[in-house]
Amino acid sequence: MTQDVLPSSHRVPAARVFDRFHLATFSAYLVPLGRLLFTLIFLESVPMHFSAQGIAYAAQGGTPLANILVPLSGVLVLLGGLSVLLGYHARIGALLLALFLLPVTLIMHDFWNVADPGMARMQMVMFMKNVSLFGSTLLLMHFGAGPLSIDATRTRRL
């Protein structure tokens, strides 16, 4: 069996392959995809913030004034999630999500107060998930929405 081998003068270095692939252009699409994936968890939860079941769950979890605070948190989540998703004032949207995450994480996922080891572990996982989401809001507050966003379009026009 013969193997076709290009002479060294016809080989393309790996770095040039990536140049031809326009890696920078491709990676620009990763940012809006990341914003979408990040906001799904928030936007999916919005209806629950306005339901009797969601309010009762939060009240059972120790949320004070749940009838007021849970729908208010739904507004934060909706506005913040849409803002980040669309990249429109995304830094402010990320701040709204952070303002939602901080009390929810401490009140609803207080694993240190749960006696049952299995439930404590589940609440710890939820706590750490929220800590991770909180970290993502900090990144968004610092870096903004990225190149493919309404914020970037508005900045280019100015």
Total domains present in the chain: 1
Judge whether 14 lies within some domain. no
Judge whether 121 lies within some domain. yes
Instruction: State pLDDT tens for residues 14-49.
Output: 555 555 556 667 777 999 999 999 999 999 999 999
Judge whether 142 lies within some domain. yes
* pLDDT of amino acid 70: 98
Judge whether 140 lies within some domain. yes
Judge whether 12 lies within some domain. no
How confident is the prediction for the chain on average, in pLDDT? 89
Judge whether 68 lies within some domain. yes
* pLDDT of amino acid 157: 66
Judge whether 11 lies within some domain. no
Residue 157 C-alpha from the chain's centroid: 27
Instruction: State pLDDT tens for residues 128-150.
Output: 999 999 999 999 999 999 989 99
Instruction: State pLDDT tens for residues 69-128.
Output: 999 999 999 999 999 999 999 999 999 999 999 999 999 999 999 999 999 999 999 999
Range of the domain at 133: 32-157
The contacts found for 68-73 with CB under 8 angstroms, 24 or more apart, are 73/49, 73/100, 73/104
Closest CA to 40 of 103, 149, 133: 133
What's the rounded Cα separation, in Å, for the pair 85 and 101?
17
Judge whether 122 lies within some domain. yes
